[in-house]
Amino acid sequence: MNTFLKMALLFGFSLHAVAHEAALEKVSVAKDVPSIERGAETLMGACHSCHSMKYIKYRDLIKFGMDKKKVNEWSGGQSLDLPLLAQMSENDAVLAFGKAPPDLSVMTKARDGGPRYVYSYLIGYYQTKDGLPGNHIYPETKMPDPLGIIGVTDEKQLSEIHGKARDIVSFLAWAADPREEERLRLGYYVLAYLFVLTVLLYFVKNQIWARLDRIS
Amino acid sequence: MFANVINWIDQRFPLTSFVKHELTGYPTPRNLSYWWNFGFLAGLVLVLQVATGIFLAMHYKADAATAFDSIQHIMRDVNYGWLLRYMHAVGASAFFFVIFVHMARTLYYGSYRAPRELLWWTGQGLLLLLMATAFMGYLLPWGQMSFWGATVITNLFRATPFIGDDVVIWLRGDFTVGDATLTRFFALHYLFPFLIIGAVVIHLVALHTVKSSNPSGIDLAHKDNIPFHPYFTAKDFYGLGIFLIVYSVFVFFMPDSLIEPANNIPANPMQTPNHIVPEWYFLPFYAILRSVPNMVGGVVAMGLSVMMFAFMPFLDRSRIPGGAHYRPIFKLQFYLFMIDMLVLGWVGYVPQTSSTTIIGQIATLCYFGSFFLIPFISRVEERWLIKRGLPQEVMTLIDKEKKEIAERKLKNSQRKGGKA
């Protein structure tokens, strides 16, 4: 069969499968250092053994304002200039789960729905009829329930887990876009400047064009 | 001292006369609306793209193994690298937006008609160059959408008769999109903007020969022209301010809104993304490609859909000036065409289902239909409008034009006769 046809078929099928199965939960991403630090801590405990964040160095966390002692602990005494690589090698992970765990550095930007997707995914675990773990958001997932939400019915415990998921997502959102704060701050100045400039340019334009009325 | 220097230069290079002829004294119709700002804006976006692009190229690595990482390096470690990259990415969309408005204005006001055909065609060439540049630039971040978009589009060249498969390999430099493709796309993505600059110069030479059209469509008497500077420099800069505000809102506050999430996943040849979509500016043409069930037909239809604009000077047979201004049916057709473009864009964006396929096919027929109907509609409309009675000035203009054409023909035949 002609390669293009194959491509087109692949295309058609993949397009068919795109419709989202479950609606995404709402989450407000925290921007404050304590929440993001809590998120980093939870991530270090629950995700870091398999998932890397190769674009983030330990020193970046300290620069952002996290507790130096904690970061040192997470790095395990290694140089702070090393990236947050997973403890498990990719090969071992593939052997264990059948799939390499994706890098998390830009995860909140890499999915439709962004932070909402990641949050819904983390709290989307449930027990299937066969007693196996399932996920509403990403049914094909190979990752075991990282926050232990399956089977939890207690309201207080549940909201605690939701809080943890929110912290993780806040940390991931910061990691995906560490320059956001700088960007927004600069953005307000730029817009204010452009606004004044444009108003002035408008007056200049009117003044210059007023000459025409005087002539004719 | 300054006057002496200028004088020294003027004896060796026509600096003063050039500036006077092409800028300060360049005669421009005084009734140009803000729709005439977009040519200037396109030129400015081109400068922005080249400027940011050169600095991005200093930090970018055109290598399949490190390209994705180098983008993250630019976003995180390079001073104001995020600003350069977002300005460049948003700039690509801004470029197409500005060009599309520029083209829509030309269509609405009939600015493509004699004597501006060559101006319009150089613009068509610029559009093709711009599309090629944008397409190649999109591969460089080496994300999933980059990779699969390039795979799908280079695959279309299989439609070339006889040598299709070889053409695809020749374009990619490999059997699949890979490192060889990335490096050549980078090289060409750096080259093409300079071709565009050259083509812009040609576009401007053509413009300055035939001068700007204007909303009335009537060539204004000399007294109605005003010098470009200071009147239109002032107007263009005010428009630029508005443009930069909108541009900055995107760059600083919603820079990721135009970047597909899947492009933040490194390219993976083993895994097709769920839903391959091109950038928004290609969506209508992509929808036309998908609407034709046959591959070769789809490619031809897509190519034609871009090139159809070049035929407008021949298709529009009406002699009534002012584009849609004095032409109610043409105006209606223009707006229907715009709606059709939006429908096609939507069809190109959503996952294909049987109903969107049918909508896409109808929209494709409307797209081409509106071009093919123009020769007939424009003639019928002209007759109807003349019968109904046009403003006296427009009638005299049409008569004058008719007389001029007859005179030119007479002169031509006399000259030929004289030589024979």
Tokens 């094909």: give the residue: A140
User: Taking the domains of chain A in order of start, what are their residue ranges?
Assistant: 24-178, 179-216
Nearest one of B65, B43, B68, B38 to B266, comparing CA atoms = B68
Residues of B in contact with A12 (CB under 8 A): 352
* A107/A178 Cα distance (integer angstroms): 13
Q: What is the mean pLDDT of residues A178-202?
A: 97
Nearest CA in chain B to A210: B231
Task: Count Cβ atoms below 10 Å from residue A188 Cβ, excluding itself.
Answer: 11
Please answer yes or no on whether A187 and B251 come within 8 Å at the CB atom: yes
A–B CB contacts, 8 A cutoff, strictly below: 113
- B208 catalytic per annotation: yes
Question: Which of A15, A17, A109 faces B261 most closely, judged by CB atoms?
Answer: A109
Question: DSSP state, A54?
Answer: E
Checking if the pLDDT of A147 tops 50, the result is yes
Task: Count Cβ atoms below 10 Å from residue B124 Cβ, excluding itself.
Answer: 19
Tokens of A129: 């009829």
DSSP, collapsed to helix, strand or coil, labels residue B136 as helix
* B286/B363 Cα distance (integer angstroms): 12
Task: Count Cβ atoms below 10 Å from residue B179 Cβ, excluding itself.
Answer: 15
* A19/A204 Cα distance (integer angstroms): 52
* B171/B184 Cα distance (integer angstroms): 9
Q: Which tens digits make up the pLDDT trace of B304-329?
A: 999 999 999 999 988 887 788 788 99
Question: Which of A55, A191, A205 faces B248 most closely, judged by CB atoms?
Answer: A191
The chain-wide mean pLDDT, for chain A, equals 88
Please answer yes or no on whether B83 and A178 come within 8 Å at the CB atom: no
Judge contact between B181 and B173, C-beta under 8 A.
yes
Please answer yes or no on whether A114 and B261 come within 8 Å at the CB atom: yes
Q: What is the mean pLDDT of residues A148-164?
A: 92
Q: What is the pLDDT of residue B145?
A: 96
Nearest one of B233, B229, B235, B232 to B21, comparing CA atoms = B229
Q: Which tens digits make up the pLDDT trace of A97-112?
A: 888 899 999 999 999 9
Question: Class assignment of domain B36-217+226-275?
Answer: mainly alpha
Comparing A135-139, B12-16, B125-129, B404-408, the range with the smallest average pLDDT is B404-408
User: Taking the domains of chain B in order of start, what are their residue ranges?
Assistant: 36-217+226-275, 277-389
Checking if the pLDDT of A1 tops 50, the result is no
DSSP, collapsed to helix, strand or coil, labels residue B3 as helix
Checking if the pLDDT of B219 tops 80, the result is no
* B126/A95 Cα distance (integer angstroms): 53
Q: Which tens digits make up the pLDDT trace of B146-193?
A: 999 999 999 999 999 999 999 999 999 999 999 999 999 999 999 999
Q: A18 falls in which pLDDT band (50, 70, 90)?
A: very low
Its pTM stands at: 0.91
* A18/A10 Cα distance (integer angstroms): 13
Residues of A in contact with B234 (CB under 8 A): 201, 204-205, 208-209
**Interface mutation vs chain A, best among B69, B73, B82, most A CBs within 10 Å:** B82
Q: A16 falls in which pLDDT band (50, 70, 90)?
A: very low
Higher pLDDT, B325 or A27: A27
In the set B212, B305, B318, B378, the catalytic residue is B212
Q: For chain B, give the percent of residues with pLDDT over 90.
A: 80
Q: What is the mean pLDDT of residues A196-208?
A: 97
Compute the nearest-CA separation of B212 from chain A (Å).
19
Tokens 């443009």: give the residue: B243
Residue B365, C-beta contacts closer than 8 angstroms, at least 6 positions apart: none
Nearest one of B138, B133, B134, B162 to B151, comparing CA atoms = B138
Q: What is the mean pLDDT of residues B264-272?
A: 94
Q: What is the pLDDT of residue B420?
A: 45
The ipTM assigned to this model is 0.89
Please answer yes or no on whether A19 and B234 come within 8 Å at the CB atom: no
- B69 catalytic per annotation: no
In the set B88, B189, B235, B325, the catalytic residue is B235
Q: What is the mean pLDDT of residues A82-87?
A: 92
Residues of A in contact with B237 (CB under 8 A): 201, 204-205
Q: What is the pLDDT of residue A22?
A: 64
Judge contact between B147 and B268, C-beta under 8 A.
yes
Residue A97, strand partner residues:
none
Residue B224, strand partner residues:
none
Residues of B in contact with A186 (CB under 8 A): 83, 252
Judge contact between A22 and A139, C-beta under 8 A.
no
Judge contact between B210 and B117, C-beta under 8 A.
no
Tokens of A30: 């925290």
Architecture of domain B277-389: Orthogonal Bundle (1.10)
* B133/B137 Cα distance (integer angstroms): 6
Judge contact between B218 and B212, C-beta under 8 A.
no
Nearest CA in chain A to B226: A212
**Interface mutation vs chain B, best among A184, A190, A195, A203, most B CBs within 10 Å:** A190
* A37/A32 Cα distance (integer angstroms): 9
Residues of A in contact with B30 (CB under 8 A): 212
Tokens of B135: 């397409």
Please answer yes or no on whether B264 and A10 come within 8 Å at the CB atom: no
Q: What is the pLDDT of residue A17?
A: 45
Judge contact between B212 and B32, C-beta under 8 A.
yes
Q: Which tens digits make up the pLDDT trace of B31-71?
A: 899 999 999 999 999 999 999 999 999 999 999 999 999 99
The chain-wide mean pLDDT, for chain B, equals 93
Cα dihedral across residues B223, B229, B230, B231: positive or negative: positive
Q: A15 falls in which pLDDT band (50, 70, 90)?
A: very low
Judge contact between B98 and B60, C-beta under 8 A.
no
Q: What is the pLDDT of residue B389?
A: 79
Q: Which tens digits make up the pLDDT trace of B385-397?
A: 888 877 777 777 7
Please answer yes or no on whether B272 and A106 come within 8 Å at the CB atom: no
Q: What is the pLDDT of residue B270?
A: 92
Task: Count Cβ atoms below 10 Å from residue B47 Cβ, excluding itself.
Answer: 11
Q: What is the pLDDT of residue A21?
A: 52
- B257 catalytic per annotation: no
Domain B36-217+226-275 and domain B277-389, same fold? Reply is no
Checking if the pLDDT of A19 tops 60, the result is no
In the set B20, B59, B208, B331, the catalytic residue is B208
Question: Class assignment of domain A24-178?
Answer: mainly alpha
Judge contact between B259 and A112, C-beta under 8 A.
no
Tokens of A55: 């674009």
Q: Which tens digits make up the pLDDT trace of B361-393?
A: 999 999 999 999 999 999 999 899 888 877 777
Checking if the pLDDT of B90 tops 50, the result is yes
In the set B279, B316, B340, B382, the catalytic residue is B279
Please answer yes or no on whether B274 and A17 come within 8 Å at the CB atom: yes
Checking if the pLDDT of B194 tops 80, the result is yes
Q: A151 falls in which pLDDT band (50, 70, 90)?
A: confident
Q: What is the mean pLDDT of residues B397-419?
A: 75
Write the DSSP assignment of B189-241 as a string of letters.
HHHHHHHHHHHHHHHHHHHHHH----TT-SPPPGGGEEEHHHHHHHHHHHHHH
Please answer yes or no on whether B234 and A184 come within 8 Å at the CB atom: no
* A4/A6 Cα distance (integer angstroms): 5
Task: Count Cβ atoms below 10 Å from residue B16 Cβ, excluding itself.
Answer: 13
User: Cα separations (Å) of A212 from A208, A215, B37, B225, B322?
Assistant: 8, 5, 19, 11, 24
Q: What is the mean pLDDT of residues B278-299?
A: 95
